[in-house]
Structures are given as C-alpha cells and as structure tokens.
Amino acid sequence: MSRLVMKFGGTSVANLDRIKRAAKRVAREVANGHEVIVIVSAMSGKTNELVGWVDETSPLYDAREYDAVVSSGENVTAGLMALTLQEMDIPARSWQGWQVPLKTNGAHGSARIEEIPTDNLDAKFAEGMQVAVVAGFQGISPEGRITTLGRGGSDTTAVAFAAAFDAVRCDIYTDVDGVYTTDPRITSKARKLDRIAFEEMLELASLGAKVLQTRSVELAMRYGVKLRVLSSFEEYSETAGTLVCAEDEIMESHVVNGVAYSRDEAKMTLVNVDDRPGVAAAIFVPLAQAGVNVDMIVQNISEGGKTDMTFSCPVDQVARAEKAIKDATDRGELSYGDLVVDSDVCKISVVGIGMRSHTGVAAKMFEALMGDNINIKVITTSEIKVSVLVDRKYLELAVQTLHDAFELEKAGDA
C-alpha cells in the first residue's frame, strides 16, 4: 500500500472545526487506498504564546526546557487530530517525536534531523493503523531530551518523513492555494504556478517567499520528494495547488518564473579598507561569529592600496554587525576609514531556471527598473537569479514593474 504524507500548518488546525475539516481531507486519502502520515503544527498563535511564557518566566532560559515547553503545542494538535479521525471510524493514533523516534542532534531550538527509523510506524501500519498523526517541529536528542527544529520545522518534519517512508508525495496544506509568481498582495496580476522546480522554489524561499521553509525545500530536492502546496480552505481537486518537483518534470516555463522580495534589508559599506590578502576574512569571519547573516557582497576596484567593501544583512542585525566590526578593529585585525549604513533598502530578485539557457535577463531587469526611475544600489547574480538592492520606498513599484516586464501573468513559455 502506498504512503502519503500530509502536513497541516497552524491556520489549518487553528480550532476544532478546522481540525475536523483537515480530518475529512485525510479520510479522503485513506479511502483512496493510502496509508497516511499526518504532520501537524501547533494551533495558530499557540507557539508564540508558549515562547512568550518562557521569556516571561526565564529571560536567560535553559534551551532544553524551552524545547520542552514550545514543543507541547504540536502534541495537543496531534492528539486532537487522532481523536477526530477515530470518531470518523478511521484507525489513527498520535505520535510525539520521541515515540517515532525522530532522532536529531543536540542543538536545542534549531536541531537537525539525523535519522527517522521506520520500524515503529511500520509495525503499527501492519497491525491495521491507517493514519499516524505525528507532532511536527520536534524530535529527540542523543541525550534523550526533546528538541525542536526551529521556526517552520513542521515543513521539514513532513519532508523528512516522506523521504524516510518513501511516500508518493508530501502535501503541504496551508492558508494559500499554491506558489505564486509574486506576492498577490502587491500585484493582482500574480499567477499561481501549476509546477515549479526545486531549485526555483529554494531560491524563492531563501529570498523571502514565505510559502515553504527553506530547509524543507533543500531536503525535498536532496531526496527527490515531490511537494504539493495547497490550501486547506479551497475545494479539493487533483490539480489543486502547486507541485514542487524536478526540473525535467516541467514541460515549459518562463525564463523568469517568479519575483521575490525581502523588505527589511540594510546595506553596510566599509570605506577605505586596506586592500591586502585576508582583508575579506578579517571582515566576514567576525560577522559570522557574531551571527550576522551576510547576503550580498560587493568589493570596489582598489585605488592607492584602499578599497570599499559593501554587504547586506537583515536590518535587525545592523547593531550586531557594527559591534563585530568595532571589536575586530579594536583587536587590530581591521582598519578602515568609515562605516556607512543604509537601513532603508530592500532586496528584489527575479528567479528562473530558464536563465541558464537565455541571455539578457539582467539587462531586461535593469532596463525595466530604469524606466520607473528606480536606482539600483547593489547587484548580485547566480545561475538562476538576479538580485538588486533598491530604496525600500520602491519595493511595491519594483515588484510590479518586473512582474510586468517578464509577463509573468501569462501561462506557458515566455
């Protein structure tokens, strides 16, 4: 019998009525002949509430106890989902991470999955269980303590189970009905994609698209797990949602398939840095050690033995970056003339696997932005994306302009 993984996010299980709605979707897949592994998140808002209780109780908390508290929301949902299915005469039982067991490393709060033995669930399926409802976001450390996988960890849990149990597909139920060419809240022309390649989805997720968690897409790409993103609130159909799959399963697509953005970026420039071997390490090693998530990096041409180094980072990490650079300077590891910070920028990116075989994407992007008098501050490229930093006030205009320029509202090859 084939296995199917179904993951329901917090809005999909926000109350008992929504849990019943989700359970009906599970029942349909059981009726279709699947053994189903359901991964559930905590009810909407519950994890934030639990985190707030921890912070209020112990601002300098023990990470092991933090995980014990915040993982409890998923346990409640799993139990309620199993009870709901049982009321529908479907043999179901709930599983916490340690019962499976989902084995992780010991990095509490951001643990990595190491192994999911299938013996326990396989035995229960053989005995007649039709649905295993698993609490997402959690596992067990080598020391036997509860761990959590970080925000969005239930998506990662779902993909990992699909890989471990050789599932035919992993369906991610959420509050949106698929992956769009861009944020529909910014442009009404945004179009839902029927299919998108793993690499494109990974780029969009890492660039700010909130539909799927980045680690889950990485895992799906590594193990070839087909993902389908669909809404818990729309009528079901076999073609609903967006399928995230291998590139060779997509017959045709745009050269550019999506426009992503990250609103809260900052641009930092070190002026008149000594241009010498090791200067980049002197800047970016301290930043990494301070936990600063550096993204775009540009170095100017050297003049008179000096150069400028520009990089971007999340705006809420600027103070941490400034301290790391100051500390490195105080230690004599770094010398520069000035540090210029622009905390009012955003990142806009165009993404598409078609860029590999088509020229002129960057030129078209730059020409479109120029047409709306949007100045580009920093540019970076990869094989399937072009990203720019622009003033934050132009975010919506830039997204709309690029969506129009690449005609993403049109289906098929463009």
- pLDDT at position 149 is 95
Tens of pLDDT, residues 25-68 = 999 999 999 999 999 999 999 999 999 999 999 988 999 999 99
Count of other CB atoms within 10 angstroms of residue 343: 13
DSSP 33-95: T-EEEEEEPPPTTHHHHHHHHHHHH-TT--HHHHHHHHTHHHHHHHHHHHHHHHHTT--EEEE
For the annotated binding site for substrate, the residues are: 47, 74
Same fold, 3-175 and 259-405: no
Mean pLDDT of 236-254: 80
CATH of domain 3-175: 3.40.1160.10
- pLDDT at position 208 is 62
Distance of alpha carbon 53 from its chain centroid, rounded?
26
Global pTM value? 0.83
- pLDDT at position 223 is 94
| Amino acid letter for position 8 | F
Tens of pLDDT, residues 279-310 = 999 999 999 999 999 999 999 887 778 899 99
Q: Which two tokens stand for residue 321?
A: 């970056």
DSSP SS3 for 238: coil
| Burial (Cβ within 10 Å: 0-12, 13-18, ≥19) of residue 356 | exposed
d(CA 57, CA 186): 40
For the chain, which residues make up each domain, given as ranges? 3-175, 259-405
- Considering the segment(s) 259-405 as one domain, its CATH architecture is 2-Layer Sandwich (3.30)
- Are 343 and 377 in contact by the 8 Å Cβ rule? The answer is no
The answer on pLDDT for 217 being more than 60 is yes
For the annotated binding site for ATP, the residues are: 7-10, 174-175, 180, 185, 210-211
pLDDT-above-70 percentage for the chain: 98
For the annotated binding site, the residues are: 7-10, 47, 74, 174-175, 180, 185, 210-211
- pLDDT at position 237 is 75
| Burial (Cβ within 10 Å: 0-12, 13-18, ≥19) of residue 338 | exposed
The answer on pLDDT for 384 being more than 60 is yes
Which range is least confidently modeled, 206-220, 252-266, 313-327?
A: 206-220
The answer on pLDDT for 412 being more than 80 is no
For the chain, what is the mean pLDDT?
92
